[in-house]
Amino acid sequence: MGSTFTWKYLTWSRCIINRRLRNFGKIQRCQNSTTITNKNILQLHERGLFQNVFPPESSPDLMKKLLSGPQCIYCGFDPTASSLHVGNLLAIIALLHSQRVGHQPIAVVGGCTAKIGDPSGRKTDRVPMSSELIEENSSSIKESLQRIFDNHRDFLWKQPNKELPEPLILNNKEWYTNLNVIDFLAKYGRFFRLADMLSKHSVKSRLSSPEGMNFTEFTYQMFQSFDWLTLLKHYNCSIQIGGNDQLGNIVAGYEFIRQTTNEKVFGLTIPLLTSTTGDKLGKSAGNTVWLNADKTSPFDLYQYFLNQPDADVERLLKLYTFLSNEHIENIMKEQRAKPHERIGQRTLAEQVLLLVHDESGLKTAKRWTEAFFTNNTDVLSRLSESEITELFQNAATCRMLLEPGMTVLETCMKANCFDREVDAERIIRAGGVRFNHQRVAEPDMVLQEGQHILSNKLSLIRIGKKNHYIVKWLP
């Protein structure tokens, strides 16, 4: 049931179908601005976006369905946090690729399934969440999804004369809130066989662990299956996209729909990405890289992609951007010719920032990058107090009254940069202290407006390489 699809079947079936539909395709291209061939999102396998198709032997049927006209394609997102992360972004991009060729994208926020808890990829039970927290997270994720769809349309869709299908963002609480549990089990529970449910990897791995598995999470596959059935009935949605760890749930939904309807449905999974070092993409020093600015700033998101290793750049450009393969190939040629300029990483970071945080977010990220990594005091002076505080988030901050004749040494001591004055003098003379990125070497140097004190009435003091202090000068 859950065997991995091998793409040689896709290659073979694509050749057969292309031959059969070649003449029809010519007619269709005259009638529709989006060519029928382009509707075949399975071609995104060439970019590494799709990993599995279920059922494995169904690729010819799925391809025919995709080529026949606009389809409805959905992906679910449980609100287990207030923000999605860069791993989720790949699923959103898969929906966007579908939208770009004329298919109807549906994003389902799991306002009810979050209460159940998806066991996929977990070794222990999920911590139960309050209804209030789930509601807050659901609202935040819905806003984030809408923002990304809007940013894609406004900044990355290069065919304004071709209107994109409007995305649907739903919450599955809409069809569960008034559903009676007895009626649900009586009507649908009989279609789920225990042997099949127990055979799922997410279940077997948990049952074999010391912690085991609770019944609530065991039933998760039933509810995700019912989500799909509901979308099929109301939106004719026959295609589900999910992470590779969702294959078991997709299989369960496929079997459920096969038994309750005569409809053919299909599942597509996207890879769970790891870097060349084996780290799960989206984890930075153990911290999740989020899509909401209040959890991961545009600057940090920009830096995350800007610092990807050269070996990963081409793959990530194909996955996380909408640039053509030819464009990416040209970028990589330029990257190999001038590796020090990191053209690939900069393009990747810029494209992701436009999608997630729009033009203003990209401008902020670039401005902060220049302020953080260059010696340009003009850039630093254009940042607000809140921006500098967030940019140098580990910096100690203080407010200080500027007194006539105040020196570098006095400022450092009042800002608690040093415990002992003798240490301060020694390190200043050794060149270990910088004011606004500029090295100061004389402890008795009197502070100067525009040099030590920026026009925004701030001073950024750096001791050594990593210790920052922010001084806000009082009027």
Q: What is the pLDDT of residue 194?
A: 84
pLDDT digits (tens, 9 = 90+) for 409-419: 999 999 999 99
Q: Which of 247, 269, 291 is the last residue of a domain?
A: 269
Same domain, 346 and 430: no
Same domain, 412 and 311: no
Answer yes or no: is 278 within a domain. Answer: no
Same domain, 246 and 291: no
Q: What is the pLDDT of residue 275?
A: 63
Half-sphere exposure of 90 (CA within 13 A, CB side): 25
CA 135/CA 133 separation, integer angstroms: 5
Residues 319 and 47 sit within 8 Å (Cβ to Cβ)? yes
Answer yes or no: is 448 within a domain. Answer: yes
Q: Indicate the average pLDDT of the chain.
A: 87
Q: pTM of the predicted model, to two decimals?
A: 0.83
Pairing between β-strand 266-270 and β-strand 52-54 as defined by DSSP bridges: antiparallel
Answer yes or no: is 275 within a domain. Answer: no
Q: What is the pLDDT of residue 38?
A: 67
pLDDT digits (tens, 9 = 90+) for 219-232: 889 999 999 999 99
- The DSSP annotation for 367-380 comes to HHHHHHHS--HHHH
Same domain, 68 and 194: yes
Same domain, 366 and 390: no
Same domain, 189 and 46: yes
β-pair partners for 458:
472
Same domain, 305 and 412: no
- Write the single-letter amino acid at 237: C
State mean pLDDT over 240-251: 92
Q: At what angle do helices 86-100 and 343-373 cross, to 10 degrees?
A: 130
Number of domains in the chain: 3
Q: What is the pLDDT of residue 29?
A: 29
- % of the chain beyond a pLDDT of 90: 63
Q: What is the pLDDT of residue 235?
A: 97
Residues 114 and 129 sit within 8 Å (Cβ to Cβ)? yes
pLDDT digits (tens, 9 = 90+) for 248-300: 999 999 999 999 998 999 999 999 887 666 666 665 556 789 999 999 999 99
Same domain, 368 and 389: no
Cβ atoms within 10 Å, residue 303? 19
Q: What is the pLDDT of residue 286?
A: 60
Q: Which of 352, 373, 394 is the last residue of a domain?
A: 373
Answer yes or no: is 277 within a domain. Answer: no
- Pick the residue with more confidence: 130 or 207? 130
Distances (CA, A) of 399 to 94, 407, 443, 475: 49, 16, 21, 10
CA 374/CA 35 separation, integer angstroms: 48
In this structure, what CATH number is given to the domain that contains residue 446? Answer: 3.10.290.10
Same domain, 368 and 417: no
pLDDT at 26 over 50: no
pLDDT digits (tens, 9 = 90+) for 425-468: 999 999 999 999 999 999 999 999 989 999 999 999 999 988 99
Residues 357 and 293 sit within 8 Å (Cβ to Cβ)? yes
Answer yes or no: is 379 within a domain. Answer: no
pLDDT digits (tens, 9 = 90+) for 34-82: 333 468 888 898 899 998 899 988 888 898 899 889 999 999 999 999 9
Q: What is the pLDDT of residue 155?
A: 97
Burial class (CB in 10 A: 0-12, 13-18, 19+), 291: buried
Same domain, 99 and 145: yes
Per 3-state DSSP, what percentage of the chain is helix, strand, and coil (rounded to 5)?
55, 15, 30
Q: What is the pLDDT of residue 217?
A: 84
Residues 301 and 284 sit within 8 Å (Cβ to Cβ)? no
Confidence tier at 17 by pLDDT (50, 70, 90):
very low
Q: Which of 204, 238, 269 is the last residue of a domain?
A: 269
State mean pLDDT over 301-324: 95
In this structure, what CATH number is given to the domain that contains residue 248? Answer: 3.40.50.620
Residue 364 in tokens: 């902020």
Answer yes or no: is 274 within a domain. Answer: no
Answer yes or no: is 276 within a domain. Answer: no
- Pick the residue with more confidence: 255 or 377? 255
Q: What is the pLDDT of residue 35?
A: 39
167 cis-preceded (ω within 30 degrees of 0): no
CA 10/CA 40 separation, integer angstroms: 11
Answer yes or no: is 378 within a domain. Answer: no
pLDDT at 89 over 90: yes
Q: What is the pLDDT of residue 4?
A: 40
Half-sphere exposure of 198 (CA within 13 A, CB side): 6
- Dihedral angle sign, alpha carbons of residues 373, 374, 375, 376: negative
Q: Which of 249, 242, 222 is nearest to 75 (CA)?
A: 242
Same domain, 408 and 298: no
In this structure, what CATH number is given to the domain that contains residue 316? Answer: 1.10.240.10
Q: Could you list the residue range(s) of the whole structural domain that residue 467 is in?
A: 385-474
Same domain, 287 and 240: no
pLDDT digits (tens, 9 = 90+) for 92-146: 999 999 999 999 999 999 999 998 988 777 777 788 889 999 999 999 999 999 9
